[in-house]
């Protein structure tokens, strides 16, 4: 019998043995291509000194490939029905711990302290459910955890948005939020045919390399986030209109116009044309005038 979990035959055997039914609400799509899993592990540059945090191990397909290379793997699994499956499939790997918890509610800093005491090189590696991709990624980034980077399989369209450059139709608030904390690059596109069940859309492997310092320096970080979110509220509107309607109040329009002038941003431009640096300068100019 093929030892790797991630083959169509072995995956079906495991699912049948445990009578496992996929839950649509949990966005469960299991990978059945070992080569793609190995590519994910390679993209994360995992060594025997690396500690890995995984989210949603499923039946352990990716976990297994990570465990073969890493010092320790800690996986968060929300679906209780998968715990006995993982107990069996990952039995050969003593360096794997499964935490039955919703990663969005978990204390990640504490999990790192508890599990990676003697490990300084920490990576996040996961095949993320589509429906919670953004909140999970933003939690890992915003909590400023001591991790080197994040390598995830996500919906291709989201990977395009996160790694997008200014002036493209994919570029938006998510691009800026992610690129503020990390360098983003799409490693590869993955067809739906390598999953059970097959998703209707393509996936992609995204690599985020965490920056030592955020990409730009701003007076007030939450306000900077507020400014660029406001700037993208309605993509058809100019940056001036978006800021007046979403950052407001409306009677502050003269101050907003003055801040745009100070930041050397044409009020008729649209949010998607501004770089991270321009948003930082604009955010500081607005902060000084509106606070």
Q: Is 169 helix (H, G, I), strand (E, B) or coil?
A: coil
- Whether 29 has a pLDDT exceeding 70, the answer reads yes
CB 130 within 8 A of CB 199: yes
238: DSSP letter: -
Q: Give the phi and the psi of residue 196 in degrees, each rounded to 5.
A: -120, 130
Element (H, E) at 179: helix 173-181
Q: Give the span between the Cα atoms of 155 and 128, in whole angstroms.
A: 9
- Closest to 145 in 3D by CA, of 74, 246, 197, 229: 74
**Closest C-alpha among 181, 50, 48 to residue 112:** 50
How far apart are alpha carbons 161 and 257 in whole angstroms? Answer: 29
pLDDT per residue as tens digits for the range 237-265 = 999 999 999 987 878 899 999 999 999 99
Task: Provide the residue ranges of all domains of the chain, joining segments of one domain with +.
Answer: 8-210, 221-290
**Which residues pair with residue 127 across a beta bridge?**
153
- Whether residue 92 is predicted with pLDDT greater than 80 in this model: the reply is yes
**287 membership: H or E segment, kind and range:** helix 276-290
Which pLDDT tens digit goes with each residue over 154-200? 999 999 999 999 999 999 999 999 999 999 999 999 998 998 888 88
Given a cut of 70, whether residue 2 has pLDDT beyond it is: no
Can you tell me which residue has the tokens 């996961």? 126
Query: DSSP secondary structure string, 24-68?
Result: GGGT--EE--HHHHHHHHHHTT--TTEEEEEE--TTTHHHHHHHT
Instruction: Compute the distance between CA of residue 30 and CA of residue 8 in angstroms, rounded to an integer.
Output: 10
Cβ(133)–Cβ(158) under 8 Å?
yes
CB atoms within 10 A of CB 265: 20
The conformation of residue 153, written as its DSSP 8-state character, comes to: E
- The pLDDT, as a whole number, for residue 18 is 92
User: What gap in Å lies between CA 124 and CA 73, rounded to an integer?
Assistant: 10
Is 242 marked within a binding site? Answer: no
Provide the Cα torsion 58, 62, 63, 69; round to 10°.
180
CB 283 within 8 A of CB 218: yes
CATH architecture label of 8-210: 3-Layer(aba) Sandwich (3.40)
Asked whether residue 1 carries a pLDDT value surpassing 50, the answer given is no
The reply, when asked if residue 77 is annotated as ligand binding, is yes
- According to CATH, the topology of domain 221-290 is Helicase, Ruva Protein; domain 3 (1.10.8)
Identify the band that residue 130 occupies on the pLDDT scale cut at 50, 70 and 90: confident
Give strand pairing partners of 76.
55, 99
The response to whether 243 counts as a known ligand-binding position is no
Distance of CA 249 to the CA centre of its chain: 33
Residue 31 marked in a binding site: yes
Cα angle, residue 50 at apex, residues 93 and 148 outer, rounded to 5°:
140
Q: What percent of the chain has pLDDT over 90?
A: 86
Cα dihedral 206, 210, 215, 219 in deg (nearest 10): 120
What single-letter DSSP state applies at residue 189? E
Q: Exposed, middle or buried: residue 267 (CB in 10 Å: 0-12, 13-18, 19+)?
A: middle
């Amino acid at each position: 019998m093929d030892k790797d979990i991630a083959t169509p035959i072995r995956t079906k055997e495991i699912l049948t043995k445990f009578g496992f039914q996929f839950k649509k609400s949990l966005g469960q799509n299991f990978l059945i291509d070992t080569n793609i899993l190995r590519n994910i592990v390679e993209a994360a540059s995992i060594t025997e000194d690396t500690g890995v945090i995984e989210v949603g191990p499923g039946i352990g397909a990716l976990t297994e490939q990570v465990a073969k290379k890493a010092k320790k793997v800690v996986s968060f699994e929300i679906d209780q029905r998968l715990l006995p499956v993982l107990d069996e499939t990952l039995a050969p790997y003593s360096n794997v711990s499964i935490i039955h918890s919703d990663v969005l509610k978990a204390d990640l800093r504490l999990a790192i302290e508890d599990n990676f005491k003697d490990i300084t090189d920490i990576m996040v590696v996961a095949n993320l459910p589509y429906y919670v991709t953004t909140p999970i990624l933003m939690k890992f980034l915003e909590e400023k955890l001591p991790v080197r980077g994040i390598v995830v399989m996500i919906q291709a369209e989201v990977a395009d948005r996160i790694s997008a450059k200014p002036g493209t139709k994919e570029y938006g608030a998510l691009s800026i939020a992610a690129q503020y904390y990390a360098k983003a690059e799409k490693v590869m596109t993955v067809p739906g045919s390598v999953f059970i069940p097959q998703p209707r859309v393509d996936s992609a492997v995204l690599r985020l390399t965490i920056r030592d310092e955020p990409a730009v320096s701003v007076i007030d970080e939450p306000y900077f986030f507020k400014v660029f979110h406001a700037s993208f509220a309605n993509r058809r509107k100019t940056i001036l209109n978006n800021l007046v309607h979403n950052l407001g109040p409306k009677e502050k329009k003269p101050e907003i116009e003055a801040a745009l002038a100070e930041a050397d941003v044409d009020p008729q431009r649209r949010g998607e044309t501004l770089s991270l640096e321009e948003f930082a300068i604009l955010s500081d100019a607005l902060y000084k005038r509106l606070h």
